[in-house]
Amino acid sequence: MTVPIAALRLMAYDQVLAILLCILACVVVVDATRAWLRVRLR
């Protein structure tokens, strides 16, 4: 199922920004946890 570009344009920009921020936060948390575990288990 392909999403037309117009549908993406209709989506609110603050929604897109919120989704991107959530993804970024998840990546940062996972990366920090992996680094902490790597140091702890060494």
Residue 11 region by backbone torsions, left for phi larger than 0, else alpha for psi between -120 and 50, else beta: beta
Question: What is the reported pLDDT for 42?
Answer: 84
Q: What is the pLDDT of residues 6-38, one digit of tens each?
A: 766 666 777 888 999 999 999 999 999 999 999
How confident is the model at residue 1, as a pLDDT?
A: 62
pTM, two decimals, is 0.60
CA distance 41 to 1: 44
